[in-house]
Every structure is written in C-alpha cells, then in structure tokens.
Structure 1
C-alpha cells in the first residue's frame, strides 16, 4: 500500500482534504509492515575492513571504502627518566628541567628558587624532582609573586638524606610541593 498524504510537499501531491479513518489506518499498517520487514530481515552492516595507526593518528576503513578519521589517539604524559646532578648550593630551574630528576649532592644542601613564569615559562603540568644526596636538605624558595602550596604541617624542604620532593606547575606562577618533606617544629 502507498502512504496517503493530505497536503502537497517533498513527498509529492497530497489529496487536498482530511484523510478518512481507513486511510489513516492504512498509513499506520503500511509503516508497521515496513518496520516489521526490517526487524525480520535486518540489513547487513558495513563492517570494518581495517584500522591503521600512524604515530598518534588512527583511521578506520569500512568494507565499502568509507573512511573515518584520522582521529588523534590519547597518550600518557611522558615523564623522561633523565637524571642529572646539582653540586652547587643554589639552583634556579630552567625550561629544560621540566619533567627531570635532579640529585642535589652538595653537603651543605641546596636552595632551589622557583622561577616566575615571566622568566622561565615552564608548561603547566611540568614536574621537577629533587633528591637530597648530601647531608643538608634541599630547600624550596620562591619570589613573593608565586603561590606555592605546601602540605599543612610540613616545610618546603626534604626530610633527610635520600628524601625526594617534587615541585609541580599547576597554573601560571602556582606550584604544588609533595614528597618526603620535613615536618614543622611544633616544640618551639
């Protein structure tokens, strides 16, 4: 049965007056039969024929030669294991220090002064690890224009030989400190 339309439109010419009850029922019956035919005999899907990945770009190819992509694949933040030594008693991080591991070997310790973003624009999410390899601690210092978040009850310095702390850029001119930190002296 063919669907009966009342008005003229993209479907063609309509009959120009209200449908009868029989025409309405016929339209519903026709649509029901078409849906039932699809449910009984679903069309074969166009399957994936292959997927290619080049670097971080993935493209999906279907059997009918349709392509989807390329899509950028997510990837984990790479934290290189580049270790270097700081033998001086003071240190100011530079851009190349992002995501690096620093061993501070000076027996008198090391004062690390965090830089302002205007002078060293370390990207947000950058981390720098400092390990106390000498007798005295690694102490983190910073200019007044920087916000540094130190856990309550702790000092911004390592807790002893072989202690490690990490400074992380969490926003422009804002850093978090975590790791094995020295506790504040509450007995004084």
Structure 2
C-alpha cells in the first residue's frame, strides 16, 4: 500500500482533503509493515575494516572504504628521566633539549641563552630544567629583544646556589616562567 497524503509537499501531490479513517489506518498499517520488515531482516552493518595510528593520529576505515579521522590521540607529556651534563660556560637550548634535565658542571657557572621562538620553536608547555652542580650560578639570559623571562620579584634570573634547580616553562610564544631556587637580589 502507498501512503496517502492530504497536502502537497516533498512527498508529492496530496489528495487535497481530509483522510478517511480507512486511509489513516492504511497509512499506519503500511508504516507498521515497513518497520516489521526491518526488524525481521535488519540491514547488515558496515563494520570496521581496520584502523591506523601514525604518531598521534588515529584513522578508522570501514569495509565500504569510508574513513573517519584522523583523530588526535591524547598523550601524556613526556618528561624524560635522562640526565645530561652541560660542561661549558654557555648553553643555547635546541629543540632536542625540550623537557630535559641538565646538570651544569662548569667551574665558572653557565649562562643559558633562552632563544626566541623564531629561532627555536619550542611548543608551549615545554620545560627545560637546570641544576647548578658547581659553585658558580646558572644565569638565565636572552639576546636583546629576546623572549620574556618571568622570574620572581626580589630575585635574580640565576640559580640560588650549589644544588639549586631551576625550570624554564614556556607559557606563550616568546614567554617563559622561571620556577625554582633563584638567587636573592641583595642589591635591591
């Protein structure tokens, strides 16, 4: 049976007047038969064929070649436990230093030159940790017009003594927070 419509619309031309009780019942019966046919013979689903993960990108492929994704998989920030030594009196961090732990051992201390984002594109949330492993301090500095280093009021942008650990945390494109034991500014 074909469904009977009263008005004209996307379904085609309607009959132009109210449906009779028989036509209404016929419409319900037709819809019931269609639903029953689906329940008795459900369509086969399009199953997952396979999935791929490349780096942090996950893509799902169905048997009909439809693809969903790629979706970015969440991942924990990697904080390596590898300890490296900086034996020179200057250090210019490179991308491979991201989220690293460095022990500065030079007898004259060490100056860490924090680069502009245009020079080294560290992602925001990168951390660079330095430990003063000698008597002289680690000085955190930038070139003229370099990135902003947010230290602490009343303290210098340098480590506060042998054994002090300071972390640089990138919080914006050209802005880093200094976290840790900094040297007190006794000249202020």
How high is the TM-score relative to the length of structure 2?
0.68
Question: Which residue does the alignment assign to 1:133?
Answer: 133
Contact 1:53 1:59 in 2 (8 A): yes
Q: CA deviation at 1:138?
A: 1.6
Aligned to 2:121: 122
Cα RMSD after superposing both structures? 3.9
Tell me which residue corresponds to 1:181.
Answer: 181
Separation in 2, partners of 1:35, 1:94: 66
Structure-2 residue corresponding to 1:108 = 108
Correspondence for 1:166:
167
1:123-169: CA deviation from partner (whole Å, max 9, x where unpaired)? 33233221211123222123463322235565433343333222133
- The answer to whether the 8 Å contact 1:127/1:168 transfers is yes
Could you tell me how far apart the structure 2 residues matched to 1:35 and 1:152 are?
A: 76
SS at match of 1:33: helix
Q: CA distance change for structure 1 residues 32 and 157 in 2, over 3 Å: closer, same or farther?
A: farther
**TM-score (structure 1 length as normaliser):** 0.68
User: Structure 1 stretch 102-111 or stretch 52-61: which is displaced more?
Assistant: 52-61
The number of aligned residues is 184
Matches of 2:61 and 2:121 in 1, distance apart? 40
Distance, in Å, in 1 between the alignment partners of 2:159 and 2:26 is 80
